[in-house]
């Protein structure tokens, strides 16, 4: 199975229904995962998918107790192996330990029991055969959460391009080392806790969509660090910024869109498919639908989505480009985030990132490029922007323009502005 | 003096003007209660526009900050006059769950509705809810969870609150995986599907007559 | 909103989670439907769907008690009206009373309280503004159920083209009269209880896929009767035979495929989209997914599916044909039912139906055409048929060839062969 | 005489041969029990192939019909010798639900597993289950439902069976919307996800040692 070789594969992720995860429930937890994986693999075989990525994104107690995480990982690996032997189903296993470092506040990012257990889980799962290692890392979220609520783009840039970048550099150096030692792949990260939070808040009309779109663009600078440290893709599914990272790195990327509605609604249901190497449902609980357990139903939906992509690809680059054109055009007139995640926009944002002298300036440039793309499209009538959002185009622009040229000046001013009690500055080399 | 200017300063989130105009009003001998009402009127206006999706959270926040600027000056006089928030609300994300934002938005909305809000943060074990409820005697307790695997912690928390005899506080739950059916099942008094509706829900629970008692 | 005018619309249907429907639960039932419709319409507005069909397929107690059915119908109609006024959301309401006649065994098909209440519900909902009237009618199921289990194609043809046709002629004459009187549309029926049952049994490996495919083809003869009696489409979503009926009648058709995985798994997830005028999720329970209540999540998925179809259509007939080619090619090599539901196959089956002298011969011809299409594709290597199924190609062919030319001879022999205690012959003019 | 031919006749569903060979065996003085076992062996073979998805329901059905042809001849001798099915199973689709096929397949599979199966049909109210259970004393009661709105009828039925003191029969439930969790919740003894597994489930419940006691 070659990811990024032209063929698109489904990538399935699933999670528990309402239940506790603890020592006494672990037999039930294991039974749930066994039910989910066997049902999904049965359907994947029946539909003759060309191959499959299965992601196991752990729940916090499974990272805190690596034995529990490994028990489930081993069940999944065993079932994947059995499906391969019995039905010739090709598959790849992605292990995504939940980043538990924020279980204490302020988070301890670089040491301690939480860190040790998380790293242990990466290491043991890689040794057990997890071919892809991923994480939704959280460094910088301490500041980003507040910054989103006040729509303060300067603070978002601080959270992402200063705090996030420094944390990811530390974390991904470790993950890359684990991957290398175990002969598996450091895959990639996602700005889930940052840009997806913004996107979901915007869907709920709590913050402007144009702001969420700019946050997405900025978030690429942070997620890029994984690849700077040795990750090779596919970047994690919920990282919608992956399309920008693909333009920079050329690495394959997991994407998700409409078929992840089970996990969250989004304004980018089709456009997100235009650059995917695997196509994911993000995560679905093990609840019963009339058609079967929800993971099985979503397996089927992904399988058919992917068949369509691959049929277009099979007709050559022009045909593939035509399908992508429709996927893109379907969304980009209705939402600013859809617009900036179109491959053509992503290339422009990527260019602005790689031409910048440092991560901070790259973040500012990415934000400005996104904002200009949105403003131009709004002005030429090709993008709808809700009346209540229009003033935000100027607000964000002014805020971006006011940011200093120099990174250390920026950091100093931000350390004054943000709530520094929510994080440990030493964990971000900020002392 | 005219308090409409102060109301306007709150509505537009003009923090500086809010502080100056509050001091001016006090100096002019305006009743503290009348000043408070003009602030409430401003928050009421922005709150209503927020509910109608005309403005966003940041606009709510800067209005709240302007209000806070006024309150720093006004509060000692209110306290002296025995005027204080009618209701106290406790809020926290339940044990095992680290999600902040939804809980924070509800806290903000409740503060805007003149609740005295005590925010216990995230990953809050049942015993901390119990201890805080004993200390603060809230009319409302809000529990948040974003993981299917921390939803059962809501039940444990409710069970312990009831076991501790703290069942006169009304419990409202919320978060992405939560439903009314789950609320019924675990004995919560209400379910708030989103931050905007959390105010309505809380007001209903405490039987507040005011459609918008904001402070 | 013009259905069949080129633009494809989403068609949403939803149903209750686990709960009783009775006098004491009706307030809860109403609250459930209100929650489902408001969530779905909110999302449809946000995603700016070009228009929407909402289907209300009643549950048995709601047909037995027309007041209950009308209470829910009115809630849905009111919410559709409000979304139209508030958000400019265009919509059409499809009313599908559950066919309750089989509540007694053997069913009383043409009179009695069950019949009266069902007809009353049609009439009152049409008067209240249900613009489309549909039903999953069940006449002939008494024999078809057994025929499927023994894979007896002769008995299936008797159930569909003799019993089914006669019942539908009676029933749809009434529905068409109600529609005309109320100035609404008799939309169409579906062979759900016949051909979908076969398809689902085949998915569960209980009967051969090739048999289920032949049953589908035959079922078109029965579903066609609605149009012979005055229905004008769009035919009901779960009638996968609609593609054949569209080839015959030219009327618009509702179709469902991958995005109906919530209701049942199928081997025709993409190919079913190639001829759709509305695109449906069949039915999803009101259960909570992480992204929202399931009806809202499926509303989003349908909206994006439909956007893609409409983007291709917007680029003209050649572009539309290209997308259809991919949708078709994605499925037809893997499953015989997918093959015979490709538009090109459907045209051939349609031709064989319209050239036949009567419904019975049309059914035999439809079955034989489907079987030949399958056999040819298997022989030229373009269709996979599981080894255990190959012998069934001959078995079904021989059975079809042995059927008499003359309808009355056929009926006489079948009245000897089938279990005549399961139905009332007089309700099918068989005495 | 050789009974392998009879076994083969069952396996291939050759009804005519099954009847003839059974009569031949009886005439040759073969023990009724030995004849029965040869039939069981045939059903066992086709059942195993069905479970492995090598053959379909119609093949199972014609084998069952061939077996029936034999049994018509054999049964009087078995009765005379006191040999009868060890277990009785009651089955029906619950009140309000009209779905037949799933229930019929389970009934067929159970018959194949040498259960004496009493099929109450569809839309069966709790009181009819109770009455039939009183009459037939089943070890197994199977409840089927295909609608989310008839699932609660399963609970009513179980409640009434228990209230009537008929709780020594094991209850197994199934149907498209049913899950193990629902089975646990309403106090069913087991959940059968499909017709093929219904036999295993039933055997486990009655503690039958035989892996394939078919008749
Ligand atoms: Zn994520
Ligand atoms: Zn149907
Ligand atoms: Zn339907």
C297 pLDDT band, cuts 50/70/90, is: very high
Q: Assess whether pLDDT exceeds 80 at residue B209.
A: no
- State the maximum Cα–Cα separation within chain B, in Å, rounded to a whole number: 57
DSSP state of A357: S
Q: What is the pLDDT of residue D212?
A: 39
pLDDT digits (tens, 9 = 90+) for C232-277: 999 999 999 999 999 999 999 999 999 999 999 999 999 999 999 9
Contact C191, C366 (CB under 8 A): no
Nearest ligand for residue C190 CA: 2
Q: How far is A208 from chain B (nearest CA, A)?
A: 7
DSSP state of C48: T
Contact D177/A at CB under 8 A: yes
Mutation for C interface: D101, D120, D126, most C CBs within 10 A = D101
CA distance B50 to B113: 13
DSSP per-residue string spanning A39-100: HHHHHHHHTT-S-EEEEEE--HHHHHSHHHHHHHHHHHHHHHHHHHHHH---EEEEEE---G
Q: What is the pLDDT of residue D1?
A: 63
Residue C293: its H or E element: strand C292-293
Phi, psi of A65 (to 5 degrees): -120, 85
Q: What is the pLDDT of residue D109?
A: 83
What's the burial of C172, exposed, middle or buried (CB within 10 Å: 0-12/13-18/19+)?
buried
pLDDT digits (tens, 9 = 90+) for D44-101: 899 889 888 899 999 999 998 999 999 999 999 999 998 888 899 999 999 999 888 8
Reading across the β-sheet that carries D190-191, which strands appear in turn? D115-119, D87-93, D140-144, D170-174, D190-191
Interface contact A21-B151, CB threshold 8 A: no
Residue C57: beta bridge partners? C96
Region D173-189: what's the mean pLDDT?
A: 92
What's the burial of B78, exposed, middle or buried (CB within 10 Å: 0-12/13-18/19+)?
middle
| Distance from residue B79's CA to the centre of ligand 3 (Å) | 63
For residue A26, how many C-alpha atoms fall within 13 Å in the half-sphere facing its CB?
15
Residue A241: its H or E element: none
Residue D131: beta bridge partners? none
pLDDT digits (tens, 9 = 90+) for A357-398: 999 999 999 999 999 999 999 999 999 999 999 999 999 999
Of A149, A206, A285, the CB nearest to B148: A285
Paired sense of beta strands B115-119 and B87-93, if any: parallel
Q: What is the pLDDT of residue D112?
A: 76
Interface contact A326-C323, CB threshold 8 A: yes
| Distance from residue D181's CA to the centre of ligand 3 (Å) | 26
Nearest ligand for residue C239 CA: 2
Contact B179/A at CB under 8 A: no
Contact B185/C at CB under 8 A: no
Paired sense of beta strands A9-15 and A284-285, if any: parallel
Q: What is the pLDDT of residue B85?
A: 84
| Distance from residue C255's CA to the centre of ligand 2 (Å) | 11
Region D7-13: what's the mean pLDDT?
A: 94
The nearest alpha carbon in chain B to A193 belongs to B99
Nearest ligand for residue C58 CA: 3
Q: How far is A197 from chain B (nearest CA, A)?
A: 9
CA distance A267 to C152: 49
Interface contact A290-D179, CB threshold 8 A: no
Contacts of C294 in chain A (CB under 8 A): 289
CA distance A212 to C370: 52
Distances in Å between the Cα of A348 and the Cα atoms of A217, A380, A399, C238 are: 11, 18, 21, 45
Q: Assess whether pLDDT exceeds 80 at residue A338.
A: yes
Q: How far is B120 from chain A (nearest CA, A)?
A: 12
Contacts of A290 in chain D (CB under 8 A): 148, 176-177
Contact C349, C372 (CB under 8 A): no
Nearest ligand for residue C290 CA: 1
Q: What is the pLDDT of residue B215?
A: 33
pLDDT greater at residue A373 or residue B208: A373
DSSP per-residue string spanning D133-147: HHHH--SEEEEE--S
Q: What is the pLDDT of residue B210?
A: 45
Neighbours of C2 (CB within 10 A): 10
Residue position matching structure tokens 């006489």: C412
CA distance C301 to A259: 6
Contact D58/C at CB under 8 A: yes
pLDDT digits (tens, 9 = 90+) for A257-287: 999 999 999 999 999 999 999 999 999 999 9
Q: Which chains does D contact via 3+ CB–CB distances below 8 A?
A: A, C
Q: How far is A18 from chain C (nearest CA, A)?
A: 11
Gap between the terminal Cα atoms of chain B: 21
pLDDT digits (tens, 9 = 90+) for C199-227: 999 999 999 999 999 999 999 999 999 99
Q: Assess whether pLDDT exceeds 90 at residue B168.
A: no
Mutation for B interface: A107, A205, A395, most B CBs within 10 A = A205
Of B176, B181, B182, the CB nearest to C290: B176
Q: What sign has the CA pseudo-torsion A227, A232, A238, A243?
A: positive
The alpha carbon of C54 is separated from its chain's Cα centroid by a whole number of angstroms, namely 15
Ligand 1 is an ion; residues with CB less than 5 A from it: A 192, 238
Tokens of residue D209, six digits = 């040692």
Interface contact C206-D122, CB threshold 8 A: no
Q: How far is C142 from chain D (nearest CA, A)?
A: 10
Residue-averaged pLDDT of chain D: 90
Phi, psi of C125 (to 5 degrees): -70, -35
| Distance from residue C136's CA to the centre of ligand 2 (Å) | 6
pLDDT digits (tens, 9 = 90+) for A163-192: 999 999 999 999 999 999 999 999 999 999
| Distance from residue C285's CA to the centre of ligand 1 (Å) | 25
Interface contact B56-A18, CB threshold 8 A: no
Contacts of A288 in chain D (CB under 8 A): 177-179, 182
Interface contact C285-D195, CB threshold 8 A: no
Contacts of B122 in chain A (CB under 8 A): 105
Per-domain residue ranges of chain C? 9-428
| Distance from residue B145's CA to the centre of ligand 2 (Å) | 37
Phi, psi of C55 (to 5 degrees): -105, 135
Q: Assess whether pLDDT exceeds 70 at residue D209.
A: no
Phi, psi of A255 (to 5 degrees): -135, 160
Interface confidence, given as ipTM, is: 0.93
Q: Among candidates C212, C262, C208, which has minimal Cα distance to C237?
A: C262
Tokens of residue C412, six digits = 């006489």
pLDDT digits (tens, 9 = 90+) for A72-126: 999 999 999 999 999 999 999 999 999 999 999 999 999 999 999 999 999 999 9
Residue position matching structure tokens 């098909």: C109
What's the burial of A319, exposed, middle or buried (CB within 10 Å: 0-12/13-18/19+)?
middle
Contacts of B121 in chain A (CB under 8 A): 105
Domains of chain D: 4-84 (1.10.1240.10), 88-206 (3.40.50.280)
Nearest ligand for residue C57 CA: 3
Tokens of residue D94, six digits = 């619950």
Gap between the terminal Cα atoms of chain D: 21
| Distance from residue C36's CA to the centre of ligand 1 (Å) | 26
Q: Assess whether pLDDT exceeds 70 at residue D170.
A: yes
* D window 132-161, beta carbon within 8 A of A: 148
pLDDT digits (tens, 9 = 90+) for C35-77: 999 999 999 999 999 999 999 999 999 999 999 999 999 999 9
Residue position matching structure tokens 């419709």: C37
Region A41-52: what's the mean pLDDT?
A: 98
Interface contact B148-A388, CB threshold 8 A: no
D/B touch flag: 3 or more CB pairs below 8 Å? no
Tokens of residue C84, six digits = 């139209």
Contacts of A45 in chain D (CB under 8 A): none
CA distance A102 to A193: 12
Q: Spell out the SS3 assignment of C130-196.
A: CCEEECCCCCCHHHHHHHHHCCCHHHHHHHHHHHHHHHHHHHHHHHHHHHHHHCCEEEECCCHHHHH
Contact C250/A at CB under 8 A: no
Q: What is the pLDDT of residue B195?
A: 82
| Distance from residue B211's CA to the centre of ligand 2 (Å) | 47
Q: How far is B157 from chain A (nearest CA, A)?
A: 13
Residue D117: strand, helix, or coil: strand
| Distance from residue C58's CA to the centre of ligand 2 (Å) | 12
CA distance D208 to D215: 14
Contact C20/A at CB under 8 A: no
Contacts of B123 in chain A (CB under 8 A): 103, 105
Tokens of residue C239, six digits = 């009638």
pLDDT greater at residue C91 or residue D168: C91
D208 pLDDT band, cuts 50/70/90, is: low
Contact C283/A at CB under 8 A: yes
Interface contact C19-D98, CB threshold 8 A: no
CA distance C165 to A368: 66
Residue-averaged pLDDT of chain A: 97
DSSP state of C236: P
Q: Spell out where D154-203 has E strands.
A: 170-174, 190-191
Residue length, chain C?
Answer: 431
Tokens of residue A175, six digits = 């993950």
| Distance from residue B90's CA to the centre of ligand 2 (Å) | 49
Residue length, chain D?
Answer: 215
B208 pLDDT band, cuts 50/70/90, is: low
Residue A316: strand, helix, or coil: coil
Question: How many H helices and E strands in chain C?
Answer: 17, 10
What's the burial of B121, exposed, middle or buried (CB within 10 Å: 0-12/13-18/19+)?
middle
For residue A233, how many C-alpha atoms fall within 13 Å in the half-sphere facing its CB?
23
Region A335-362: what's the mean pLDDT?
A: 98
Q: What is the pLDDT of residue B1?
A: 63
CA distance A369 to A375: 10
| Distance from residue C39's CA to the centre of ligand 3 (Å) | 19
Distances in Å between the Cα of D189 and the Cα atoms of A181, D33, D172 are: 50, 33, 6
Interface contact A331-C46, CB threshold 8 A: no
Q: Spell out the SS3 assignment of chain C.
A: CCCCCCCCEEEEEEECCCCCCCCCCHHHHHHHHHHHHHHHHHHHHHCCCCCEEEEEECCHHHHHCHHHHHHHHHHHHHHHHHHHHHHCCCEEEEEECCCCHHHCCCCCCCCHHHHHHHHHHHHHHHHHCCCEEECCCCCCHHHHHHHHHCCCHHHHHHHHHHHHHHHHHHHHHHHHHHHHHHCCEEEECCCHHHHHHHHHHHHCCCCCHHHHHHHHHHHHHHHHHHHHCCCCCCECCCCCCHHHHHHHHCCCEEEECHHHCCCCCCCCCCHHHHHCCEEECCCEECCEECCEEHHHHHHHHHHHHHHHHHHHHHCCHHHHHHHHHHHHHHHHCCCHHHHHCCHHHHHHHHHHHHCCCCHHHHHHHHHHHHHHHHHHHHHCCCCCCCHHHHHHHHHHHHHHHHCCCCHHHHHHHHHHHCCHHHCCHHHHCCC
Contacts of A48 in chain C (CB under 8 A): 334
Nearest ligand for residue C12 CA: 3
CA distance B13 to B57: 12
The nearest alpha carbon in chain C to A310 belongs to C330
């Amino acid at each position: 199975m070659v990811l990024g070789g032209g063929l698109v594969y489904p990538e399935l992720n699933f999670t528990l229904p309402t239940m506790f995860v603890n020592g006494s429930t672990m037999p039930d937890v294991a039974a749930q995962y066994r039910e989910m994986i066997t049902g999904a693999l049965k359907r994947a075989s029946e539909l003759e998918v060309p191959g499959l990525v299965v992601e196991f994104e752990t729940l916090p107690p499974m990272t805190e107790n690596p034995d529990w995480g490994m028990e489930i990982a081993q069940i999944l690996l065993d079932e994947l192996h059995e499906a391969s032997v019995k039905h010739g189903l090709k598959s790849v296993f992605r292990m995504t330990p939940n980043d538990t470092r924020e279980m204490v506040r302020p988070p301890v990012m670089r040491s301690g029991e939480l860190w040790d257990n998380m790293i242990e889980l990466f290491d043991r799962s890689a040794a057990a055969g997890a071919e892809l290692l991923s994480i939704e890392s959280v460094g910088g979220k301490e500041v980003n959460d507040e910054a989103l609520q006040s729509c303060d783009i300067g603070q978002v840039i601080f959270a992402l391009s200063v705090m996030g970048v420094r944390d990811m550099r530390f974390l991904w150096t470790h993950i890359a080392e684990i991957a290398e030692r175990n002969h598996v792949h450091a895959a990639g990260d996602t700005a889930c806790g940052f840009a997806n939070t913004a996107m979901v808040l915007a869907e709920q009309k709590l913050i402007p969509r144009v702001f969420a779109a700019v946050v997405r663009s900025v978030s690429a600078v942070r997620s890029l660090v994984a690849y700077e440290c040795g990750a090779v893709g596919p970047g994690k599914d919920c990282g919608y910024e992956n399309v920008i990272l693909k333009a920079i790195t050329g690495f394959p990327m997991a994407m998700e869109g409409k078929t992840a509605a089970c996990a969250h609604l989004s304004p980018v249901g089709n456009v997100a498919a235009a650059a995917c190497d695997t196509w994911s449902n993000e995560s679905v609980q093990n609840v019963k639908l009339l058609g079967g357990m929800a993971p099985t139903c979503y397996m089927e939906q992904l399988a058919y989505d992917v068949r369509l992509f691959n049929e277009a690809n099979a007709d050559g680059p022009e045909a593939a480009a035509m399908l992508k054109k429709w996927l893109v055009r379907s969304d980009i007139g209705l939402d600013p985030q859809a617009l900036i995640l179109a491959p053509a926009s992503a290339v422009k944002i990527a260019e602005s990132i790689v031409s910048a002298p440092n991560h901070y300036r790259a973040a500012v440039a990415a934000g400005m490029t996104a904002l200009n793309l949105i403003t131009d499209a709004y002005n030429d009538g090709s993008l709808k922007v809700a009346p209540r959002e229009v003033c935000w185009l100027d607000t964000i622009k002014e805020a971006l323009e006011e940011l200093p040229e120099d990174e250390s000046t920026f950091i100093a001013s931000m350390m004054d502005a943000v709530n520094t009690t929510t994080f440990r500055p030493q964990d971000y080399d900020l002392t | 003096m005219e308090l409409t200017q102060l109301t306007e300063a709150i509505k537009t989130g003009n923090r500086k003007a809010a502080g100056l105009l509050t001091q001016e009003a006090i100096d002019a001998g305006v009743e503290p209660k009348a000043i408070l009402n003009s602030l409430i009127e401003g928050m009421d206006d922005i709150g209503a526009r927020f509910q109608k999706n005309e403005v966003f959270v940041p606009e709510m926040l800067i209005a709240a900050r302007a209000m806070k600027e006024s309150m720093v000056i006004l509060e000692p006089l209110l306290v002296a006059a025995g005027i204080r928030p009618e209701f106290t609300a406790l809020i926290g994300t339940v044990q095992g769950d680290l999600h902040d934002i939804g809980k924070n938005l509800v806290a903000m909305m409740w503060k805007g509705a003149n609740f005295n809000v005590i925010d216990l943060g995230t990953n809050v074990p049942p015993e901390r809810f119990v201890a805080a409820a004993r200390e603060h005697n809230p009319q409302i307790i809000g529990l948040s969870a974003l993981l299917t695997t921390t939803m059962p912690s809501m039940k444990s928390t409710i069970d312990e609150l009831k076991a501790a005899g703290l069942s006169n506080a009304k419990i409202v739950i919320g978060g992405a995986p939560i439903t009314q059916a789950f609320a019924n099942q675990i004995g919560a008094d209400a379910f708030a599907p989103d931050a905007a509706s959390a105010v309505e829900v809380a007001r209903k629970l405490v039987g507040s007559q005011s459609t918008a008692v904001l402070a």
